[in-house]
A and B are shown apart, each in its own frame.
Chain A
């Protein structure tokens, strides 16, 4: 039973570029949440997708957008990259929507913006 997978594992971009990160949820899960974890800090909630719609959103600008596909996989898009967007981006999956459900995290995508 595959857990949560994310791709790519590492990525280097330059300021102003756009990036797309991908996440496949744990088998049987229908909800995907995205988090940003800067070095030495706790994760920050970006948003959650359930039934192909954004259900909850943290305090992130509109440059951060996402999508959920019918197979429940998800993408995180970041436009107009800033140096401060350098971080580990974590995807978590769960069942049934909501943040109270147990979330299973992937290993993350490490993004470096130069």
Chain B
């Protein structure tokens, strides 16, 4: 069965700096990959997803992620963060469209 590891539980960064949130997964078969954001006291919102095709995926709010099959990674990046990007970010994987596994989350804190 698939599993997801988010390598950093907390990432502090200054406003307008670049950020990378790391995600690795384990699976021996084809997977769908997702990044979600959860703002305080709100539900999750999809940032982007990889189903097939181009390995560079662009999402909302200026985020992008790159699927690396050989390294089984799906890291999330943004070239310049804003205070409003402060939130919890979750990586998720679905194997064969059955089940959906989420990582434990990365708390991104953007400081002025």
- A65 interface residue per 8 A CB criterion: no
Q: Which residue of B lies closest to A103 (CB)?
A: B46
Q: Interface extent on A, as a size class?
A: 20 to 34
- A72 interface residue per 8 A CB criterion: no
**Interface residue from B49, B51, B94, B102 paired with A43 (Cβ < 8 Å):** B102
B72 to chain A, nearest CB (A): 18
B contact face: mostly helix, strand, loop, or mixed: strand
A contact face: mostly helix, strand, loop, or mixed: loop
A residues 1-26 in Cβ contact with B at 8 Å: 4
Which residues of A lie under 8 Å from residue B51 when comparing CB positions?
100
**CA–CA, A33 and B43, complex, Å:** 13
Residue pair A99, B100 in contact (C-beta under 8 Å):
yes
A residues 40-72 in Cβ contact with B at 8 Å: 40-45, 56-59
Residue pair A44, B44 in contact (C-beta under 8 Å):
no
Which residues of B lie under 8 Å from residue A100 when comparing CB positions?
32, 49, 51, 94, 97
Residue pair B97, A98 in contact (C-beta under 8 Å):
yes
Residue pair B94, A41 in contact (C-beta under 8 Å):
no
**CA–CA, A45 and B102, complex, Å:** 8
User: What is B's interface to A at a CB cutoff of 8 Å?
Assistant: 4, 32, 41-46, 49, 51, 90, 92, 94, 97-105
User: What is A's interface to B at a CB cutoff of 8 Å?
Assistant: 4, 33, 35, 40-45, 56-59, 90, 92, 98-100, 102-108
